Amino acid sequence: MKKFVLVALAIAVAFGSAAAQKPVKLVIAGRDGDYGNAMQVAVDAYVAKNPNVTVELLKLSGDDIYQKTVIDLKSGTGTYDLILIDDPKAMQYQQAGWLEDLDAQLKRAGKTLDADFIAT
């Protein structure tokens, strides 16, 4: 989980204005409990290395994260920069066109994922 969050944060910032060291704010719809605690550790470590980035980590229950993100995505509001989704819901997000393949963006940014990151 921690590695996923760091990779997700790195991707988000790579496509933002971080290269120019302009302030960047990310809103993450994350999980509560142990998942949220692990994500907070990863977020804190990332922000310490990237002082121009602030992160609002929302620690939501599984039901809340699903309901809130689906409403947001259907309305096109764009509240969240990153969303942690549960595997059983991934197909719904993919079929609705809410997931994006980041390979081309990573390539443009000159970034690569760690070898142990499994693309799905």
Residue 114: per-residue pLDDT: 80
Chunked mean pLDDT (size 10), the chain, 120 residues: 52 53 94 94 95 96 94 94 89 90 85 77
Residue 2: per-residue pLDDT: 46
pTM for the model stands at 0.74
Burial class (CB in 10 A: 0-12, 13-18, 19+), 40: middle
Residue 1: per-residue pLDDT: 46
| Span 2-12+20-103 CATH architecture | 3-Layer(aba) Sandwich (3.40)
Residue 46: per-residue pLDDT: 93
Amino acid at 42: A
Residue 20: per-residue pLDDT: 56
Residue 26: per-residue pLDDT: 96
DSSP-derived pairing of the beta strands 24-31 and 53-60: parallel
| In the chain, where the domains are located | 2-12+20-103
- Asked whether the beta carbons of 59 and 36 are under 8 A apart, the reply is yes
